[in-house]
Each structure stands twice: as structure tokens, then as C-alpha cells.
Amino acid sequence: MMTGSESPEDFEAFAITSTPAIEDIAIAPKHDAPQHGPRPLPLFLDILWKETQNDTVFRAKAFEGLKKYQWAKRTKRELKAAIVATAGSARLLHYGGAGRPIIFVPSLINPHVVLDLSDRNSLIGYLRERGLNVYLVDWGFPLAEDRELGLAEHVTQRLLPLLADLKEPPVLAGYCLGGTMTAAACAMMETSALVMIAAPWDFDGFPPPDRERILALWDKAKPMCERLGYVPMEVLQSGFWTLDPGRTIRKYAAFADMPEGFDAANAFIVVEDWANEGAPLTYAAGCDLFERLYGANESGKGQWQVGGEMIDPAGLQCPFLNVISNTDHIVPAASASRGGKELRLDSGHVGMIVGGRAREQLWTPLAEWLLESNRR
């Protein structure tokens, strides 16, 4: 048990981390095994220290939860889908089913598996059980030659080629930044419907202090990212933590008291592993995200072009389901695109996909809308 009097440096002996040398790599080091710790760990420890400076008991509990998470046993889950197309490092995964194809497009930030997290917690699996023909995009791990692949090029050179051989116009369903990019794809190909789930569009809708912090983070990180040729996942994670540092620590303290092997503990481990993994962004995609979207708000001002097309989800002719959460702190409701049929939730950005109320709030109404769109 920690006494609460130690300094952050004292804990680096037991806090597992890895900092591989950047050599003989594609675009960044690719870990063969999960790190099993918050990334970047030094920043996490700094946040923990500051958030618990007046409560040594809470501090000890948070460190106990961190150590418990790092050493928890894990079982590798096998892919339950067929790889039906590739484009660069990206893959299109088919989970089976017949009828109109429904293509889920995750964010470039964090792995695609949040949409198929576990056998007991999978939006994709649920929709497949409802009889829908479901596909999932895996963006993969960018290569060195992908340095100049911006957000638009991810659409034109990755997403569109993945979908080129589909036999009929698909439903495109994008989550988070994947929803922003999916709207662009809908403007450039024939689709039967669009779903945007917690997708940022009008960046003027972000609270000014949050937006300023994110842009300040990019201003500091950009010179390093330019030299590397990519944006490390740690840079992005740091931005998320600054939005609610207290919650970042509280969840680890709560995990310390969860009985091992129970559903809540297992769910925490799986979600945190997902949040602490992920490929880097290409340098060009990072510039686009932080400068053209967060900074200039090109999408919200109607100035974002992809493949020569001006992108406006509200102007698309296909049916459009716009999923917006009133309590999302990562992508605030005010930043969502206007238009379409709105499905309003009261859930966190990740919780709406994998949380305890996800089936009730999102999975079921989304399935009903998709089934109805198949009948049109």
C-alpha cells in the first residue's frame, strides 16, 4: 500500500511503460504487446499527483487502481470477421449478413475495436444479431510514405477504394472523427443513407477554453511531430485528459475496489486498453485536424473541401441520422452538424458505444432506424 507521501518519480519503478527507440520502423514504433498503462504515463502520474495533493488516501487508492490495471490478466480476442478489401494499411472487415451493406467508419484516433469491443459488448455484434449486413473499417497502422496523407486523402485514397467493389450503395455510419470523414465520402459516392455518431462538425461549438487548450497543445507538439512525420497517440491522449483530469484519476481509484473477474472490472480493463492503444496520426492528418478543423473551423463554416467537393452533411440527399449526446464532453452537442433526423442521448462519448445504457440509448434505436432504411 502506498503511503501518499511518495513523489511521482518513486512510482516509475512499478508503473510499467515502454519508450522504444524510433528506428527501423514504418511511421512510428508498433508495439507487439499492449503497454497496459495510461499513455503517456509520466503525464498521467503528474495529473494524479496534482489531483490528489490534498487527499493522501485518495492518492493511494488511485495508485492501487493503476497497479491493479497494469497487472490484470488479459485474454486475446480473435477477429470474428473476414477481410474483404484493403487500401494501403486500411482494411474492410465483414461480419456477415445479407442485404444492404452497412459500413461503420471509426475515428482515426484510437482503434476501431471500440465498435466491436468484446463478445458481451459489441455494437457491431448486436446489429449483426438483428439481421443487418455489417462491415467495419480498420484504418490500420500508417506507413512512412503516408506522412502527407491528410484527412481528405484518408477519404479519397483509403475509404473510397475500400468500398469500390460493393454491389449496392451502402449505408455509411461514422463515429467521432470517422463521422466527419464519412460525411465527405457520402458527398463523393452513391450511398443509401448516412449516420453520424458523435461526430464533430462545427468546431466553434466547442467551449472556448477547451478549444484553446487543444490548440495550445498542438502548437507545442507540432515541431516534434513535423520532425517525426506523425502525431503520436500520446499527444492526442494528453488533449483528452486535459478536458477532465479529475475523472481520469477517479476512474482508476474506483477500479481499485472492483472485485477481480467481475463484469465491471473486466469492462474497465477492456475499455482502458482500447483507450491506451492506437496508431499515430499521419503528420498531414494532424495538421488538418488541429489547424483546418479545430483552428479554422472549415467544416462548420462550409469551407471544407474533399476531392473538389464542398462538404455539407445537411445538404446531402440521402436519409441522414444524426446522433448527438447532450452530455458528451469530447464532442459537445453544439459542435454537431445540423440537419438529418436527430437521435439525442444523455451519455458520454465512449459510454454511448460501450456503456451500461448503450443498448437502450443507441444500439436499439440505431438498429430500428437501419432496419427501416433497408425497407425503403
Amino acid in position 194:
L
**Strands ordered across the beta sheet of 341-345:** 82-87, 90-94, 133-138, 101-105, 171-175, 193-197, 320-325, 341-345
Mean pLDDT, residues 200-215 taken together:
95
- The model's pLDDT over 97-152, given as tens digits with 9 standing for 90+, comes to 888 999 999 999 889 999 999 988 999 999 999 999 999 999 999 998 999 999 99
Write down the pLDDT at residue 161.
Answer: 98
- pLDDT-derived band of residue 27, with 50, 70 and 90 as boundaries? low
- The model's pLDDT over 274-308, given as tens digits with 9 standing for 90+, comes to 888 888 999 999 999 999 999 999 999 999 999 99
- pLDDT-derived band of residue 166, with 50, 70 and 90 as boundaries? very high
Residues 6+ apart with CB under 8 A from 121: 267, 270, 354, 358
Is 211 in a helix, a strand, or coil?
A: helix
Residue 4 pLDDT > 60: no
- pLDDT-derived band of residue 228, with 50, 70 and 90 as boundaries? very high
**DSSP 8-class letter at 194:** E
- pLDDT-derived band of residue 40, with 50, 70 and 90 as boundaries? confident
- Please compute, for residue 123, the number of CA atoms within 13 A of its CA located in the half-sphere on the CB side: 32
* Of 177-186, 333-342, 353-362, 366-375, the least confident: 366-375
The neighbouring-strand residues paired with 290 are none
- The model's pLDDT over 178-200, given as tens digits with 9 standing for 90+, comes to 999 999 999 999 999 999 999 99
Mean pLDDT, residues 363-373 taken together:
95
Mean pLDDT, residues 5-16 taken together:
32
Residue 47 pLDDT > 80: yes
Residue 9 pLDDT > 70: no
Burial class (CB in 10 A: 0-12, 13-18, 19+), 65: buried
Q: How large a percentage of the chain has pLDDT more than 90?
A: 70
Do residues 309 and 188 make contact, with C-beta atoms less than 8 angstroms apart? yes
Write down the pLDDT at residue 8.
Answer: 35
Write down the pLDDT at residue 35.
Answer: 57
Cα separation, 289 vs 266, whole angstroms: 33
> What is the pTM (predicted TM-score) of this model?
0.87
* Of 121-130, 207-216, 257-266, the least confident: 257-266
- The model's pLDDT over 351-365, given as tens digits with 9 standing for 90+, comes to 999 999 999 999 999
- pLDDT-derived band of residue 3, with 50, 70 and 90 as boundaries? very low
Q: Which residue has the higher pLDDT, 322 or 268?
A: 322
Do residues 307 and 155 make contact, with C-beta atoms less than 8 angstroms apart? yes
- Please compute, for residue 132, the number of CA atoms within 13 A of its CA located in the half-sphere on the CB side: 28
Write down the pLDDT at residue 261.
Answer: 83
Residue 263 pLDDT > 50: yes
Helix %, strand %, coil % for the chain, to 5?
A: 45, 15, 40
Write down the pLDDT at residue 211.
Answer: 93
Q: How large a percentage of the chain has pLDDT more than 70?
A: 91
Residue 13 pLDDT > 80: no
Residue 223 pLDDT > 60: yes
- Tell me how crowded residue 369 is: count the other CB atoms within 10 A of its CB: 18
Residue 96 pLDDT > 80: yes
